[in-house]
């Protein structure tokens, strides 16, 4: 019984570690903000859930299980609310999610040097939005 | 096996910190710091189990709440320019100022 619980806990911890590293790699390699928010949400839901479940199977008493459940609950509520507030703040800036990648690539090219073959967006200046807000660097 | 999970969480924290350094916009940095805070909560929980002291879970619980407050505070500061004034008319006038600035910039 104990060894079976250990094996299940081991598998859950390894899966949680895998999702943690997936979220980290996604944060590094995703092209724009919205996809990075997506990969950060993986850590909040899958990574934290699996690791805390794997820890709960090793708990010595029920109080520890309840604490782990409350940690998971607060992480789920607060982190997803924070990511939602972030995405709403970026959305209120007027950045179209479909063109966020193009805008960011244009901004990067502007800092290096102006390459003539880059795609021009509909706005007049590539680093500002329709409302005249400037995207903070 | 707690050690393996802790190493994976540490790698995730390092990647989030790298994104917070190289992030092109401010919002990428806030997102990366939020992710690093979540990974810190998991790290503290796993550390408590590794050392045989699950009392560390209380610290992890407090850290989860502080992380949320910090992220929302930074977001509010970025959006409004202050963390809230005692007089609501003050905030109203500051937003009016912002809208007039915006109308000037669009003209």
Domain positions in chain A: 2-92
Cβ contact B25–A71 (<8 Å):
no
Q: What is the mean pLDDT of chain A?
A: 77
Cβ contact A131–B102 (<8 Å):
yes
Is A120's Cβ below 8 Å from some Cβ in B? Answer: no
Cβ contact A33–B19 (<8 Å):
no
Are the C-beta atoms of residues A53 and A80 closer than 8 Å to each other?
no
In A, minimum Cα distance to B11 occurs at A21
Does B97 or B57 have the greater pLDDT score? B57
Q: Which residues contact B47 (CB under 8 A, 6 or more apart)?
A: B6, B56
Question: Cα(A16)–Cα(A54) distance, rounded to whole angstroms?
Answer: 8
Q: Kindly state the tokens that stand for B75.
A: 């977001």
Are the C-beta atoms of residues B5 and A54 closer than 8 Å to each other?
yes
Domain that holds residue B98: 2-106
Residue B95 is predicted with a pLDDT of 55
Residue A17 is predicted with a pLDDT of 93
Residues from chain B contacting residue A108 (CB–CB below 8 Å): 24
| Total number of domains constituting chain B | 1
Residue A31 is predicted with a pLDDT of 84
Check if the interface score ipTM surpasses 0.85.
no
Residues from chain B contacting residue A36 (CB–CB below 8 Å): 19, 28, 31
Residue B85 is predicted with a pLDDT of 64
Residue A23 is predicted with a pLDDT of 92
Q: Which of B1, B27, B54 sits opposite A59 (nearest CB)?
A: B54
Cβ contact A64–B54 (<8 Å):
yes
Interior CA angle at A132 toward A126 and A135, to 5°?
55
Min Cα separation B84/chain A (Å): 17
Query: What confidence tier does A111 reach under pLDDT thresholds 50, 70, 90?
Result: very low
């Amino acid at each position: 019984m104990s060894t079976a619980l250990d094996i299940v806990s081991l598998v859950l911890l390894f899966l949680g570690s895998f999702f943690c590293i997936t979220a980290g790699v996604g944060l590094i390699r995703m092209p724009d903000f919205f996809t990075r928010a997506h990969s950060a949400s993986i850590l909040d839901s899958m990574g934290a859930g699996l690791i805390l479940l794997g820890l709960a199977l090793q708990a010595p008493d029920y109080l520890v299980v309840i604490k782990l459940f409350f940690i998971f609950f607060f992480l789920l509520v607060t982190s997803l609310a924070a990511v939602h507030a972030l995405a709403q703040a970026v959305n209120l800036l007027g950045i179209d999610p479909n063109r966020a990648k193009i805008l960011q690539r244009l901004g990067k090219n502007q800092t290096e040097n102006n390459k003539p073959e880059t795609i021009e967006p509909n706005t007049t200046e590539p680093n500002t939005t329709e409302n005249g807000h400037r995207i903070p660097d | 096996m707690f050690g393996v999970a802790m190493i994976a969480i540490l790698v995730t924290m390092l990647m989030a910190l790298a994104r917070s350094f190289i992030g092109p916009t401010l919002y990428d940095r806030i997102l990366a710091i939020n992710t690093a805070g979540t990974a810190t909560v998991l790290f503290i929980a796993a550390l408590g189990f590794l050392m045989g002291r699950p009392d560390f879970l209380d610290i992890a619980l407090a850290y989860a709440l502080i992380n949320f407050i910090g992220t929302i505070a930074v977001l509010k500061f970025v959006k409004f320019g202050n963390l809230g004034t005692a007089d609501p008319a003050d905030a109203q006038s500051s937003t009016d100022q912002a809208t007039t600035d915006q109308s000037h910039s669009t003209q």
